[in-house]
Structure 1
Amino acid sequence: MSDPQSYDLIVIGSGPGGYVCAIRAAQLGLRTACVEGRETLGGTCLNIGCIPSKALLHASHQLHEAEHNFAKMGLKGAAPSVDWKQMLAYKDDVIGQNTKGIEFLFKKNKVDWIKGWGSIPAAGKVKVGDTTYEAKHIVIATGSDSAPVPGAEVEVDEKIVVTSTGALELSKVPKTMTVIGGGVIGLELGSVYTRLGTEVTVVEYLDAITPGQDAEVAKQFQKILGKQGLKFVTGAAVSKVETKGNKATTHYTLRKDDSTHELKSDIVLVSTGRRPFTDGLGLEELGVKTTQRGQIAVDDEYQTSVAGIRAIGDAIEGPMLAHKAEDEGMAVAEILAGQAGHVNYDVIPGVIYTHPEVASVGLTEELAKESGRAYKVGKFSFMGNGRAKANFAADGFVKIIADKETDRILGCHVIGPMAGDLIHEVCVAMEFGAAAEDLARTCHAHPTYSEAMREAALACGDGAIHA
């Protein structure tokens, strides 16, 4: 009989990367355990990140539709009022359904949940509480936490000055909110509160929101969000946030002229990115090498500088996305089982779940230009899409970047309805090395939003039909 405290694999962290790695490893025949100190599985994503924020985005979007579009469709009546406590209860119920689902999957696949916070006293050993477990392989999947505002005096209390964690459980809907950082988290949560009636101002250090996004998309995105009520201050360096009573004052300097300004609000949301969370693991004592940004350094098979210890997800380099972590989790499990685990980092989509949604994969036009390669662009506006016009969702466009010589799809950028779902058509095409013509010659059902993808592909060739 095997030692109950000995495993083929112990995964530390049960977020999307960790739980997927553990389940796949168990499916491939490895005796597997997952260490998690939270009361529920799922990590940041399921508990205080992706899932609860999407619940609030969905609820607040329904309110927006009722207030702005129902009457246009002949749906008459008083607009619904907001019961914030009930909305939070709905959000918590969604969290519970998802986290319990992971617990069920662990039991189904015979993955042991070791409850508590783990450390690695030596290679091949994981300590949780007073118990030390043996493991042939260890995978660090401890995720990330909110990063501080660079060079600024900002003290987070999760009541007035909050991260995304606090923003998901405010005691009431604030009248005013300052969002520091114009990235994904800030814009999603800023959208939630704008729909609920909060006056939201986004303060961004760079001259445009959504750093790294295709510039044309970012410009259109900011314009659309502005029409929805969000205010923007770009090119602004935050120096300090002061709290007094139940108010906060954000101090910032405009980089173009070095002028200083103040912005008062009920809540300040700090959303300036995330950083790897590896506290308490004992990595420094073990000699595990890290990058200058504090990420764990790994090779092509996710092996760290210490034999038998691997790392995935937000703890290592690359985009901090749940699905990137999932892919790495599956790849590591397959490698440990003697298979050829692989992640195609050129085909990892990114999505912003506002309304309209923004989604992208592959090269932006700016990156294509910088690379010096010959490329072409096919664009199509959702104004030419019948389904989008019928659903009051005609803002935005599809943009496909293709190689000028081979027609191979290099990237795609979508701002519009269901962009986060539409992008995967191009992901599959890119995974198989498809040309824009392949996409253009594929029959798409009518009327669907997906026809806009085909039209953009047609625009890479002889031209779109409905443009």
Structure 2
Amino acid sequence: MATYDLIVIGAGPGGYVCAIRAAQLGLKVGVAEGRATLGGTCLNVGCIPSKALLHATHELHEANHNFAKMGLMVQPPQVDWARMLSYKDEVIAGNTGGIEFLFKKNKIDWIKGFASIPSPGQVRVGDDVHEAKAIVIASGSQSSTLPGVTVDEEVIITSTGALTLGAIPKTLVVIGAGVIGLEMGSVYARLGAKVTVVEYLDQITPGMDGEVAKQFQRILQKQGLTFVLGTAVQGVERTATGAIVVHKSRKSEEEARIEADVVLVATGRKPYVDGLGLDALGIQMTQRGQIATDARFATNIPGVYAIGDVREGPMLAHKAEDEGMAMAEVLAGQHGHVNYAVIPSVIYTTPEVASVGLTEEQLKAEGRAYKVGKFPFMGNARAKAVFQADGFVKILADKATDRILGAHVIGPMAGDLIHEVAVAMEFGAAAEDLARTCHAHPTFSEAMREAALACGDGAIHA
């Protein structure tokens, strides 16, 4: 078998980016991947297909609710669910095929099959054992579930099953009010399903800035989603016509039941390390089932590293990509680095929700003096013109130095707008720096500048 400078296990965002960057830096690279296509969970059954369905159903919403307001007089559109799923599959194929092209372009070997690590410096795929100076585990994550809940991906489903349902359900219960649950709940609500979201905590989107979370919930409720908060799911019973979710209030201990055609279990994800042979290899794990690594991604076994969802930190594709690039640079003798304080997060509903840096709750817990600059999209001409004036921008800055500490956006194109603040934070910018930067008119980004102005003498259009 060939000897590689690097073998990456897993071709998701962390793995394929690590491989490409390492090849660009002159390393001989192989990638072990057992899926029939490259791209991992993100491109195949995660980020990309869900965004395709979010886009399609947003257009459906626009046609049903806003076209007539603009003088576009059309018959209400009919949903061809099979064709919508086909469109989603075409999006997947285009993206996964693109990764395969990049592997060929960068002379990266795709070692087809699921891998294990029989000993340091060796990767087994099928009957073949490949030698490698370095091994990077980038095997990603899988959906987690709850005690008393058996997933069948037909009626009781994870995010994977939510992308391939045979029919649009009339009723859907979503267990978990995090990113995945709210995105897929939003998709099916737009398609006409009655969606109920059940959450253990007393607010949606745990960890999000509290003010944003409250506004977000109000907007989603207007869009037809129902929320049952502060309740613990006891189990899900499969029935002849669907399923029943049994849950108990954390405060009153009162038990209740919700019937649904489909139940989506969206209670988070866990590292996927099955079959890698980590126990036999002696890899140290954390209490949360993650691979323990140091600041340079090294495990306790020399020559074996881990990046992405299998190690600590947020389970985000772009966090894995950053670690993949840094990992490749470390192996090439460079100084790879990830700034974990500036990793944006985005929810791709309408409106979008995005954040970077610290929340107001975190600043209060630290006892740090800060100031808040806010600006509503109701004051943004572009947002009003496209019927997306709900939401606001919120910038948090150090009270003494004016240095930007965090930003939180709920509104149109929030997932793109947040990067203006991310770049500013990377360079240690003050809110005034952002406020004094000319922004084109009319753009959504003007709301960012107005929020920055509000950290000083005040916004112009509020």
TM range (shorter): over 0.9
Residue 66 of structure 1 pairs with residue 46 of structure 2: no
Q: Distance in 1 between matches of 2:242 and 2:359?
A: 40
Structure 1 residue 247: deviation in Å? 1.0
Residue 95 of structure 1 pairs with residue 87 of structure 2: no
1:46 pairs, out of 43, 49, 52, with 43
Where does 1:56-455 land on structure 2 (aligned, <5 Å)? 56-149=53-146, 152-455=147-450
The answer on whether the counterparts of 1:357 and 1:416 sit within 8 Å (CA) in structure 2 is: yes
Q: Displaced runs of 4+ in structure 1, greater than 4 A?
A: none
Equivalent position SS for 1:433:
coil
What whole-Å deviation, never above 9, does each CA across 1:270-319 have from its counterpart, x for those lacking one?
00000000000000111100100000000010000100000000000000
Q: Distance in 1 between matches of 2:373 and 2:364?
A: 15
% identical equivalent positions: 72
Q: Distance in 1 between matches of 2:241 and 2:13?
A: 36
Equivalent position SS for 1:249:
strand
Structure 1 residue 246: deviation in Å? 3.0
Equivalent position SS for 2:99:
helix
Q: Distance in 1 between matches of 2:363 and 2:434?
A: 20
Q: Distance in 2 between matches of 1:466 and 1:293?
A: 47
Structure 1 residue 145: deviation in Å? 0.2
Report the TM-score when normalising by structure 2: 1.00
Structure 1 residue 77: deviation in Å? 1.7
Amino acid at match of 2:47: C
Q: Distance in 2 between matches of 1:214 and 1:292?
A: 27
The answer on whether the counterparts of 1:313 and 1:328 sit within 8 Å (CA) in structure 2 is: yes
Equivalent position SS for 2:368:
coil
Q: Distance in 2 between matches of 1:180 and 1:168?
A: 16
Residue 457 of structure 1 pairs with residue 452 of structure 2: yes
Report the TM-score when normalising by structure 1: 0.99
Structure 1 residue 79: deviation in Å? 1.2
The answer on whether the counterparts of 1:180 and 1:186 sit within 8 Å (CA) in structure 2 is: yes
Q: Distance in 1 between matches of 2:427 and 2:148?
A: 48
The answer on whether the counterparts of 1:160 and 1:246 sit within 8 Å (CA) in structure 2 is: no
Structure 1 residue 242: deviation in Å? 0.2
The answer on whether the counterparts of 1:45 and 1:322 sit within 8 Å (CA) in structure 2 is: yes
Amino acid at match of 1:170: L
Structure 1 residue 331: deviation in Å? 0.3
Q: Distance in 1 between matches of 2:369 and 2:382?
A: 34
Find the counterpart in structure 2 of residue 9 from structure 1: 6
- Number of aligned residue pairs: give it: 462
* Farther off after superposition, 237-246 or 155-164: 237-246
Amino acid at match of 2:412: P
Amino acid at match of 2:360: E
Q: Distance in 1 between matches of 2:421 and 2:368?
A: 20
* Contiguous gaps of at least 5 residues in structure 2: none
Q: CA RMSD in A?
A: 0.5
Equivalent position SS for 1:328:
helix
